[in-house]
Structure 1
Amino acid sequence: MTVPTAEQQQAVQRRTVAILSAGQVLGGIAFGATVSLGALLAADISGDDALSGLATASVTLGAALCAIPLARLATKLGRRRALTLGNLFALVGIGIVILAAALRVFPLLLVGIVLIGAGNAGNLQSRFAATDLASPRHRGRDLSVVVWATAVGGVAGPLLLGPGEVVGQAIGMPPQTGSYLFSLIAQTAAFVLYVVALRPDPLLLAQRIMAAGADQNAVEERRDHPVAARYAMFAIAASHVTMASVMAMTPIHLAHMAHGAHGGHATPADISSLVGVTIAMHVAGMYALSPVFGILADRWGRLQVVLLGQGLLAASLLFAMFVNDQAWGVMVALILLGLGWSAATVSGAALLTEATAPGLRTRRQGRSDSLMSFSAAGGAVLAGLILSNFQFGGLAVAASVLVIAIVVTSPLGRMRAA
């Protein structure tokens, strides 16, 4: 096969980013619904708030287990195969969650959420797929556009809780699972989109261009900076743990607040409304400004924007420590938490890609996603225990240790000249 010209490569890259963005919109609906409902379903079915963190832990565990296998599959067969397999995992997982809620079987619920997390591993890979054909000076921008697209589905997922319950009741679905009907439809559409439209495969095309020596940035791109790459992986993982641990416990904290505000008699509708709006604002913070952070990473530098993210995370944790008894304070904390996560992970992913030689990229990207998810799974379990014993403010204090660690070790993120 002939190697495309520079103009043809740019056209394929623009089309690839558009397709990946559309897929992220659809995949984000299932992510948003699981984030909002997972902890509530786990607490309801198990009867123990301390076990609610296992829902988020299961999502991240599924993503961790599948990140490296999906990355290896992408290396051999391309991004399209890996992304569609992730969608299939999520579809099966959604069906199992609905069945588990109907049967009220807690272990089965966790199995379904693990599979949804496996599907999320594919969604995470989409941001790296956006960099396969990207030029170095636009890498952060292209990556962040795909991350931003998740905001539409991620915000819609929590906001569909109310309408989902109405539709679910009308067709006889178990309580608190109605919005998963929308997730099924969205995941099916994403699967069809990738199968039909993601051609040519961006990773396979990038490999062919590199093998032919036609990459204009070949000399710069072949350098490897392992220390900076490892720092990027740490910064991504630690920022994600900070975000996931606090976010996972927010629905439980808000449920307790709602009961307190209603004299201990808050209705499920009261709780769903408060949780849905707060998580929707958090997810908006995670994704809405990611193109801004991507552009800043291209202009200011990757490491500088990683540190900007830590400043936002620190501000979030201060609100969570000192204004956690007010709904507005929790909402501000969650918005800042999302913004800090966005800045750190967008710039961290760009730094990881830039610091890694082409032959090692897919492997390190998979390891990064796996490390990020495994760490967040452990963090979510610990978050439930910390919340039960030290409340929401204590959880924020514990999470601040990771922010400090990222800042202190930031000199490792500088790439040395070859």
Structure 2
Amino acid sequence: MTPESFPQGHVVRTLAVAQIFSALGSGSTLALGSILAVELSGSEVWAGTVNTAMTLGTAVTAMPLAGLAVRRGRRWALLTGLAAATVGTLLMVTATVVQAFAVLLAGAFLVGLAFAANLQARFAVTDMAPPQRRGRHLSLVVWAITIGAVAGPNMVGPGAALGNHLGIPPQAGPFLISAAGMLIGVCIIGVGLRPDPLLARQQLTGHSGTRARGGWAAGAAIVRRRPRATAAVVSVVAAHCVMVAVMSITPLHMEHQVGDAAHHPDTIALIGFTISLHIAGMYALSPVMGWLVDTVGAQWTILAGHVTLLASVALTGFGAHHMGMVTAGLILLGVGWSAATIGGSTLLVDSLTPSQRVPAQGFSDATMSLAGALGSALAGPAMGLMDYPGISATAAAVVIVAVIWVGRVGLEPTTKGL
């Protein structure tokens, strides 16, 4: 199969539609995670643990899923991630019904595999993409998440009604909708992702996946040898750490400001709406980011993203007691993450040869997820020590370090023609 005969448009459409439903499946966890953690654990210290478990699930499984992709293709890797996440959503229903904190964390860990699959999908669309359109194709698959990801948190209200109808706790209902979204995503990938783009690339380059070795150390070594690849990973790691830390603790901060969700039913709807706007910021402008990458370059897009992140944490820090400013800050937080992640992901692909890409991509996904897990884990204790403005200030420091690192990287030749 030649690049000209490969049905790239079909691959883009399949991955995009699957992203819609799998993102719908993960939205409830983002919206309700910190609240359920406090409710089931009995302490605000554990507020960030659900998002921590979810991001750890992504981090721990990113490299195994990358290895599975190398051996058997993107289709099997994505199917495995989404199927495990479906089980995770059902565990979260169970945890809410039986009030079991440990089960809640186990479910969140498995839901993290959906994020690992979604992260890998953005690279899958570049496997056979024309070099001059990699940024745009990658961004289209990321953009497709917008529909499901924005709708997901807003399923909290209908999900609560479903829970009441079924005689289970209202907060369990949204996770039933999540499970349905995951299952639809599994079906779309299982039926539609043929031919497999990574297997086609391996056939084209003569690189056999059965001979590939691609552990975490191998991916790290590949990235370390390429300054631009290192800058790409630093970009996405910093952006993801800051985004997850601020986003995961914001629902709890809003509950403090507006009122306890248990006694103020409108609070949970407000939180869901705010998180949905944040997720819209993450994904809705993705095509613009892809166009910027292909037009002005990945590095400039990355730097623009980090400047936007600085603006976002300035709003959340200085406007912590004004919900309008917090909401605006979360929207910009999503926009900055989008630019830095799409720019960084494209820069990583462009900086490496085809045989180097999958291990490096797995390393990047694992590292950014570990950084997100760390940010989420520290957000709860940090909330008690320095409150919401302090978290915003710490996030700003992380972004500044990334800006300095990326800005110092010189322009070395890339492999964009491969």
Question: Normalization by structure 2: what TM-score?
Answer: 0.93
Q: Does residue 357 of structure 1 match 2:346? A: no
307, 330, 344: which is aligned to 2:340? 344
Which residue of 380, 383, 386 corresponds with 1:390?
386
Paired residue type of 2:4: E
Q: Which residue of 2 aligns with 1:21?
A: 16
Distance 1:340 1:59 in 2: 22
Q: Tell me the secondary structure at the aligned position of residue 110 of structure 1.
A: helix
| Helix, strand or coil at the partner of 1:44 | helix
Q: Within 5 Å, which residues of 2 pair with 1:364-379?
A: 364-379=360-375
Displacement of 1:266: 6.8
Asked if structure 1 preserves the Cα contact closer than 8 Å seen for 2:129 and 2:137, the reply is: yes
1:247 pairs with 2:247? yes
Summarize the Cα distance change of 1:31–1:265 in structure 2 as closer, same or farther, 3 Å threshold. Answer: closer
Within the candidate set 309, 312, 322, 2:318 is matched to: 322
Q: Does structure 1 residue 137 correspond to structure 2 residue 132?
A: yes
SS in 2 for 1:409: helix
Alignment of 1:24-43 (within 5 A): 24-43=19-38
Corresponding residue number in structure 1 for 2:63: 68
* Residues in 1 aligned to 2:261 and 2:78: alpha-carbon distance in whole angstroms: 44
Q: What residue in structure 2 maps to residue 219 of structure 1? A: none
Instruction: Tell me the C-alpha RMSD between the 2 structures.
Output: 1.6
Is 1:305 aligned to residue 277 of structure 2?
Answer: no
How far did residue 412 of structure 1 move?
4.8
Contact 1:303 1:414 in 2 (8 A): no
CA-to-partner distance for each residue in 1:106-137, whole Å, 9 max, x for gaps? Answer: 11110110000022211110000010011111
Of 159, 184, 189, the residue aligned with 2:179 is 184
Aligned to 2:121: 126
CA 1:97–1:268 in structure 2 vs 1: closer, same or farther (change >3 Å)? farther
| Amino acid across the alignment from 1:111 | A
Q: Tell me, what secondary structure is at the counterpart of 1:392?
A: helix
Instruction: Note if 1:417 corresponds to 2:409.
Output: no
Letter in 2 for 1:16: V
Question: In the alignment, what sits opposite 1:163?
Answer: 158
Residue 194 (structure 1) aligned with residue 189 (structure 2): yes
Q: Deviations over 1:201-248 (max 9, x none)?
A: 010001111229xxxxxxxxxx99711111111110111001000000
* Mapped partners of 2:347, 2:331: distance in 1: 24
> 1:109 and 1:203, CA in 2 relative to 1: closer, same or farther beyond 3 A?
same
State the 1:156 CA deviation: 0.4
Moved over 4 A (4+): none
SS at structure 2 position matched to 1:133: coil
Q: Which residue of the partner structure matches residue 168 of structure 2?
A: 173
| Residue identity in the other structure for 2:255 | A
CA separation in 2, counterparts of 1:54 and 1:413? 35
Q: Which amino acid aligns with 2:385?
A: N
Secondary structure of 2:170's match?
A: coil
What is the rounded CA distance, in whole Å, between the counterparts of 2:123 and 2:312 in structure 1? 27
Contact 1:309 1:342 in 2 (8 A): yes
Query: Does the alignment pair 1:7 with 2:4?
Result: yes
Structure 2 counterpart of 1:85, from 66, 80, 89: 80
Q: How far apart, in 2, do the equivalents of 1:62 and 1:173 lie?
A: 27
Determine helix, strand or coil for the equivalent of 1:7: coil
- Tell me the distance in 2 between the aligned counterparts of 1:61 and 1:122: 14
The 1-side partners of 2:405 and 2:23 are apart by 32
Distance 2:180 2:168 in 1: 15
SS across alignment from 1:173: coil
CA distance in 1, matches of 2:162, 2:300: 46
Work out which of the residue numbers 397, 404, 407 in structure 2 matches 1:408. Answer: 404
Question: For 2:264 and 2:305, how far apart are their aligned partners in 1?
Answer: 35
For 1:105, the aligned partner's letter is: A
1:58 equivalent among 16, 31, 53: 53
Q: Does the aligned pair in 2 maintain the 1:258–1:270 contact within 8 Å?
A: no
Kept in 1, the 8 Å contact 2:93–2:176? The answer is: no
Name the SS of the counterpart of 2:272 in structure 1: helix
Identity level (%): 39
Q: Deviations over 1:338-388 (max 9, x none)?
A: 000000000100000110111110000000000001111011111111111
In structure 1, the residue matched to 2:256 is 256
Residue type of the partner of 2:249?
M
| Paired position in structure 1 for 2:327 | 331
Q: Does residue 49 of structure 1 match 2:40?
A: no
Instruction: Please give the alpha-carbon distance, in whole angstroms, between the structure 2 residues aligned to 1:228 and 1:322.
Output: 34
Aligned residue runs from structure 1 range 214-253, under 5 A? 226-253=226-253
Retained in 2: the 8 A contact 1:303–1:413?
no
* 1:34 counterpart letter in structure 2: T
**Is the 2:135–2:293 Cα contact (8 Å) retained in structure 1?**
yes
Residue 268 (structure 1) shift:
4.6
What letter is aligned with 2:32?
Answer: L
Q: State the shift of 1:7 in Å.
A: 3.3
- SS for the counterpart of 1:178 is helix
- Distance (whole Å) between structure 2 residues aligned to residue 79 and residue 352 of structure 1: 18
Is the Cα contact below 8 Å between 2:261 and 2:267 reproduced in 1? no
Q: CA deviation at 1:60?
A: 0.4
Q: Which runs of 5+ in 1 are unaligned?
A: 213-222
Whether the 8 Å CA contact 1:249–1:383 is kept in 2: the answer is yes
Quote how far apart the aligned CAs of 1:415 are.
3.7
How much has 1:173 moved relative to structure 2?
2.5
Rate the CA distance shift 1:414–1:14 in 2: closer, same or farther, 3 A. farther
Alignment of 1:269-284 (within 5 A): 269-284=265-280
Whole-angstrom CA distance in 1 between matches of 2:261 and 2:275: 22
Contact preservation (8 Å) 2:89, 2:107: yes
Letter in 2 for 1:249: I
| Contact 1:140/1:346, CA 8 A, preserved across alignment | yes
Shift of 1:48: 1.1
